Amino acid sequence: MSLTKDRLVSPVLLAIACFSIAALFVIGLFIFVEGLPIMVKVGVWKFIGSTDWSPLEGKFGILAMIAGSLAVAAGTLVVAVPFGVGCAIYLSEFASKRAVTLIKPAVELLFAIPSVVYGFVGVLFIVPFVREHLGGAGHGFCILTASFVLGIRVLPVIVGISVDALQAVPKVYRDGSLALGATKWQTTTMVTLKAARSGILAGVILGMANVIGETMAVIMVIGNAVVMPNSPLDSVRTLTSNIALEMGYAEGDHRRALFATGVVLFIITMILNTLTRYVTGSRVRKKK
Amino acid sequence: MKNRVYQALLVLACVSLALGIGGGCSKRTGRQEERIRIVGSTSVFPFAEMLAEAYEETKPGVRVDVQAGGSTVGIVSVRDGICDIGTSSRELRDAEKNGVTIIEIARDGIAVIVHRSNKLDSLTKKQIRDIYAKKITNWKELGGDDASIAFVTREEGSGTRGAFDEIVMGEGTRISPSGLVQDSNGSIREAVATSPHAIGYISLALVNEKVRAIKVDGVAPTHENLAEAKYPVVRPFLFVVKGQPKGQVKEFIDFVLGPKGQEVLNKEGLLSPIVK
């Protein structure tokens, strides 16, 4: 009796698992079917190599948006990596148990705050601050502002994965280093961090993929001008904000061009995700 | 034992999920109340909702669903038969006019707004055009402070942008891509309200005390000036229907164009359409 049930459970669970894979497949297929024809029609190189985006005149070039996404991702890393890795080192190496139980959930909670709230806080406080103190072409709506907002948003991703990576370093490494007379800080920087670096790198790349996919908060603080980024104080548009901004009104080729923007986004995120797997994979191999 | 309960629950969940999907589909056929579905312009949306509410009060048993998606979405949806009425806050392009009836329900001014601290009183249409084409980049050139202008615009495809493009920019001049882009009247108002050197354009009916609407060509965007057709930046609010309106949809449109519907719109700051 229980054997037959056992036989039943496995295929049912398999079906459920297949459903999530099917969802990925269907979404991917849908984006490519809708987006690829216009890319071919415009010319793939022209589509990703031109900065002229005037969809109503039939000009579809998303280079400015690709550059915008990358600029925001880079800016975010500059903000998030020192804070994230620093926080992870403290939590894993120096903090008392009580401090960990207090700080870790708090950092994780950051990720639970909805994206739109980040955007709202950014518009109300960071945008005016940047405008008054730094100025610039974007009048506060700029890469720097977005980097700050998103830097805080991805902190939990980087902290979480980095802490895991640091804690995965065997205790004997630290003990050995300390026994040789190294201080705690020397042990951390020269031994533990080195041993955990691929894990930390994976966290950083995953955080970057998160930033590139982020939409709502970015739309609100970045100004969305379709120009190539020249300075951190410029307003730019990212791939995601291009899709979300114009989807409501787009039709025909314009709409398909937004799907094609999604194709490019899909490929970039896929590359970053694969990179994460590759980096963590190499760590596992090394350990053996 | 525990395992069994778990398995039973799992199967139950699967079955109810399957039933749920099937059940959801079959429910649709049993329609009892009459429904009018309206989709379209985000600018028309708040007014269409008020009209729907007023109409539902006079006609129990009729439901009017209003959704915002954009003028283009409205026009496409009505052509595809997804909704009964599409709304648009811009004139239709020639290619869109085939097989549909266009009904003007109101006219709306587009106000050019600046920060409250901005001392400038009036701009000409040409000056506004030059700002948005990025030929004028500093308020100093217009007699204001020495500060660079942050011009805020709507995204491509928006009805408000389409109307602004047509009326202010005209043929051959493009809105510069380096302008800040916001995706609704409200967020443009918010951006201008918080940036001392910004300029933007929004539906006149949505101007509030947080921003200041300036004169265009010396004419203030007041209701009187709009009614007398003096204010230059005015656009239509349109209902678009596939074929000819009939039945419940026609009754609703008659209500909107009639005294009660127009009263609702006028109270909110919109103008009645010009009778041709």
SS3 A135: coil
Q: What is the pLDDT of residue A286?
A: 52
Size of chain B, expressed as the number of residues it contains: 276
B226 plus B247 within the same structural domain: no
DSSP secondary structure string for all residues of B46-112: HHHHHHHHHHHHHSTTEEEEEEE--HHHHHHHHHHTS-SEEEESSPPPGGG-TTEEEEEEEEEEEEE
Query: Of B72, B31, B82, B34, nearest to B56 (Cα)?
Result: B34
List of chain A residues whose C-beta atoms are within 8 Å of the C-beta of residue B156: 53-56, 246, 249-250, 254
B121 plus B166 within the same structural domain: yes
Q: What is the pLDDT of residue B22?
A: 43
Q: What is the mean pLDDT of each run of 10 residues along chain B (276 residues)?
A: 53 49 42 81 89 91 88 88 91 87 91 92 92 92 89 88 89 88 89 92 90 92 83 90 90 92 87 73
Residue B223, in any domain of the structure: yes
Q: What is the pLDDT of residue B1?
A: 45
Residue B179, in any domain of the structure: yes
Residue B186, in any domain of the structure: yes
- Check whether A3 has a pLDDT greater than 90: no
Residue of A53, A116, A216, A249 to mutate when probing chain B, most B C-beta within 10 A: A249
- Check whether A152 has a pLDDT greater than 90: yes
Among candidates A5, A64, A219 on the partner chain, residue whose Cβ is nearest the Cβ of B7: A5
List of chain A residues whose C-beta atoms are within 8 Å of the C-beta of residue B173: none
B50 plus B141 within the same structural domain: no
Complex-level ipTM:
0.79
B120 plus B224 within the same structural domain: yes
Q: Please say whether the beta carbons of B105 and B265 come within 8 A.
A: yes
Q: What is the pLDDT of residue B276?
A: 52
Residue B94, amino acid: D
CATH code matching the domain that covers A19-280, chosen among 3.30.1330.10, 3.20.10.10, 3.10.180.10, 1.10.3720.10:
1.10.3720.10
Residue B174, in any domain of the structure: yes
Please tell me what DSSP assigns to residue B168.
I
Between positions 48 and 67 of A, the ones with CB within 8 A of B are 53-56, 64
List of chain B residues whose C-beta atoms are within 8 Å of the C-beta of residue A123: 190-191, 194
B69 plus B25 within the same structural domain: yes
A282 touches chain B (CB under 8 A): no
Q: How far apart are CA B35 and CA B249, in angstroms?
A: 9
Among candidates B76, B181, B198 on the partner chain, residue whose Cβ is nearest the Cβ of A224: B181
SS3 A168: coil
- Give B115's contacts (C-beta < 8 A, 6+ positions apart): B192, B193, B195, B196, B197, B198, B211, B212
Q: What is the pLDDT of residue A138?
A: 84
**Cβ pair B70:A248 closer than 8 A:** yes
Smallest CA–CA distance from A130 into chain B, residue: B195
Q: What is the mean pLDDT of residues A186-211?
A: 91
Q: List pLDDT tens digits, range A87-132.
A: 999 999 999 999 999 999 999 898 899 999 999 999 989 999 999 8
Residue B268, amino acid: E
Domain locations along chain A:
19-280
Read off the CATH number of the domain in which B174 is found: 3.40.190.10
Please tell me what DSSP assigns to residue A236.
B
Among candidates B3, B157, B181 on the partner chain, residue whose Cβ is nearest the Cβ of A249: B157
Q: Please say whether the beta carbons of A32 and B134 come within 8 A.
A: no
Query: What's CA B184's distance to the chain center, in Å?
Result: 8
B44 plus B122 within the same structural domain: no
SS3 B232: coil
Q: How many Cα atoms sit within 13 Å of A24 on the Cβ side?
A: 6
Q: Please say whether the beta carbons of B198 and B150 come within 8 A.
A: yes
Q: What is the pLDDT of residue B28?
A: 41
- Check whether A22 has a pLDDT greater than 80: yes
Strand B180-182 with B150-154, pairing: parallel
Q: Which of A2-16, A57-71, A111-125, B40-54 has the lowest mean pLDDT?
A: A2-16
List of chain B residues whose C-beta atoms are within 8 Å of the C-beta of residue A256: none
List of chain B residues whose C-beta atoms are within 8 Å of the C-beta of residue A64: 177
Q: How far apart are CA B40 and CA A56, in angstroms?
A: 19
Higher pLDDT, B171 or A86: A86
- Check whether A278 has a pLDDT greater than 70: yes
SS3 B181: strand
Q: Please say whether the beta carbons of A227 and B180 come within 8 A.
A: no
B146 plus B228 within the same structural domain: yes
pTM of this prediction? 0.78
| Residue at token pair 């615009």 | B153
A254 touches chain B (CB under 8 A): yes
**Cβ pair B187:A220 closer than 8 A:** yes
Alpha-helical (H) ranges within A90-192 are: 97-112, 115-121, 127-133, 143-167, 171-179, 184-187
**Cβ pair A235:B180 closer than 8 A:** yes
What's the total number of domains in chain B?
2
B147 touches chain A (CB under 8 A): no
Among candidates B156, B182, B191 on the partner chain, residue whose Cβ is nearest the Cβ of A246: B156
Helix axes of A252-287 and A2-42: crossing angle, nearest 10 degrees: 130
Query: Nearest CA of chain B to the CA of A55: how many Å?
Result: 7
B112 plus B225 within the same structural domain: yes
Determine the structural domain holding residue B69 and report its residue range. 2-106+237-267
Query: Token pair for residue B252?
Result: 């609703």
